[in-house]
Amino acid sequence: MVTIYDVANACGCSSATVSKALNNYSDVNINTKERILKKAKEMGFVPNLQARALSTKRTWNIGVLFEDKSNSGLTHYYFSQVLQAVKEQAEEKGYDITFISKNLGGVEMSYLEHCNRRNIDGVVIACIDFEDQQVQQLMESNIPVVVIDYDSEHVSAIMSDNVRGVYELTHYMISLGHRDIVYAYGHEVFVTEERIRGFKKALDEAKIPFTEDMLIKSRYSEKQANIDAVTELLKRDKLPTAMLFPDDYSAIWGINALRNNGIKVPEEISVGGFDGVEIGEMIFPRLTTIRQNTSRLGKEASLKCIQMLESKSKDNTKITVGVELIPGGTCMAPRLFQSKSPRR
């Protein structure tokens, strides 16, 4: 490995001058600077980031906390897209990303400790139980943190316009003529509250009275939970004409469950998802859903994180990213006569 000293020797100057030349300091003669740069390149010099970090306290590393109980981390249809965008944007700015985990090498370790070991410059958190004590600790630390789809006074946050998303989807269903709509909602977290607000808002506007049986508790990205939700629904003696699922993945398994029970989609029940990932296009007919702008979410998260760490100031900016209704074939106007429950 060729060091800054080797370059200095080869150039007949000091390591300080080489360092300055490489870092664009103004107090180095233009000629010597060029000589040094040329020589450095020629010798294949690559700066050692560890050494640099030791003196500058910057590792050019941003931590990523992506942990999903149900759908193991990186394979998550929706979050892997966000992560990809986080990564791309970080790299464009010269940062590498490191996954933060507890339990490294068999040693229990808090997220914060992991960050401190690696001297992470900033952290992006998504897809996790934000109420976790360790996550809270990390958010309250003095490491700059950006969260995706959460709201906290301690950190900056990027999120989709969830209220609007479910509002639009519901509004769309209503515009097709649906009035009996059931929303199978995901884990009871911040995002879910927002979405339920959007759901109620759309009902409200259409003067459809909200009743508790329009909500069914389900879970995000969990096949079985959504099959269960359908099973639960089928016990009713009056079926809704439309059903919204927590996300596209859930919707797909939900549709399968409905069909396995002899319910036609969309003829008997219209279905809507959420996320707008590609799997929604793979099934037939294409899933009606709300597309989240994953690349913007990820990009904004990276940028905000980097902006904070570079200005050495933690703030709690909130950025909302727009969503888009994707009409598919899983919805249609409700039939006047339902098979199981003829309507008046």
Partner DNA sequence: TGTGAAGTCGAAAACGGTTTCGACTCTTAA
Partner DNA sequence: TTAAGAGTCGAAACCGTTTTCGACTTCACA
Stretch that binds DNA, among 12-20, 186-194, 203-211, 322-330 (CB under 7 A): 12-20
H helix count then E strand count, the chain: 13, 12
CA distances from 235 to 218, 238, 315 (A): 16, 9, 49
Amino acid at 155: V
Choose among its own copies, DNA, none what residue 27 binds, the Cβ cut-off being 5 to 8 Å by kind.
DNA
30 binds DNA (CB under 7 A): yes
Question: Which residue(s) pair with 324 in the sheet?
Answer: 291
Choose among its own copies, DNA, none what residue 136 binds, the Cβ cut-off being 5 to 8 Å by kind.
none
Choose among DNA, its own copies, none what residue 22 binds, the Cβ cut-off being 5 to 8 Å by kind.
DNA
Based on its alpha-carbon atoms, the radius of gyration of the chain, rounded to whole angstroms, reads 26
Choose among its own copies, DNA, none what residue 59 binds, the Cβ cut-off being 5 to 8 Å by kind.
its own copies
47 binds DNA (CB under 7 A): yes
**Rounded least distance, CB 67 to its own copies, Å:** 11
CB count in 10 Å sphere of residue 78: 24
Tokens of 145: 């943190």
55 binds DNA (CB under 7 A): yes
**Rounded least distance, CB 306 to DNA, Å:** 18
* Phi, psi (rounded to 5 degrees) for 226: -85, -30
Give the contacts of 323 (CB within 8 A, at least 6 positions apart): 160, 161, 162, 164, 165, 168, 290, 291, 292, 293
Tell me which residues touch its own copies (CB under 8 A).
Answer: 1, 46-51, 53-54, 59, 72-75, 77, 80-81, 83-84, 87, 91-99, 101, 103-107, 113, 116-119, 252-253, 256, 259, 279, 282-284
Among 48, 224, 311, 339, binds DNA (CB under 7 A): 48
